[in-house]
Amino acid sequence: MTDLALIGFGVETSKLAEGERALDKLGVASKRVAQIMEQEMKKTGTATGMYARAIKEAENAQKSFSAATVKVAQDLTFEVAQMQRSNREQAIHNALRRAGVDATSAEGRALAMLAGRHHDLSNAVSRSTVAQAAY
């Protein structure tokens, strides 16, 4: 994790690297568009067919950049929300997220109850183990 103390939370280094790669792709695509347009202008005096191809390449790079940016933003939003939840709430939320169900659905309510019980039991076992070791 990379420490971002100024804003109070961490970000996985792999997510930052993914965003940086997407930005690099966008820069490369922009340069490529300029090169293709220049080549076409030299050949024909216009930038028609190759211009369209260059625009398509730029759009694809933009989509890649946007997808990576959206993913990092979603991950950061999730991490901030997790920091505001108790451990029990995190366990419930993670179970719901893994199952892909809404907390208000019948499945979600049942899963939330089971995940909460699992968390409580796991904590009780941990506390019991620590207490036994202290004896």
111 close to 99: Cβ distance less than 8 angstroms:
yes
Q: pLDDT for 76-86, tens place per residue?
A: 888 888 788 88
The domain ranges of the chain are 1-84, 86-135
C-alpha to C-alpha distance for 119 and 78, rounded to whole angstroms: 20
- The answer for 9, left when phi > 0, alpha when psi is -120 to 50, beta otherwise, is beta
Q: What are phi and psi of 3, to 5 degrees?
A: -80, 120
Q: pLDDT for 82-107, tens place per residue?
A: 788 889 998 999 899 899 999 899 99
pTM for the complete prediction?
0.45
> Would you write out the chain's pLDDT as a tens digit for each of its 135 residues?
444 444 444 556 666 667 667 666 666 666 676 676 667 666 766 555 666 676 677 777 777 767 777 788 778 888 888 788 889 998 999 899 899 999 899 999 999 999 999 999 999 998 898 888 888
* pLDDT > 90 in the chain, percent: 23
pLDDT of residue 112: 93
Residue 90 identity: Q
pLDDT of residue 70: 75
The two three-digit tokens of residue 88, written as one number: 């029990």
Which H or E element spans position 53? helix 49-83
pLDDT of residue 6: 44
Please give the C-alpha separations between residue 47 and each of 2, 11, 56, 61, 85, in angstroms, as whole numbers: 45, 43, 14, 20, 55
pLDDT of residue 40: 66
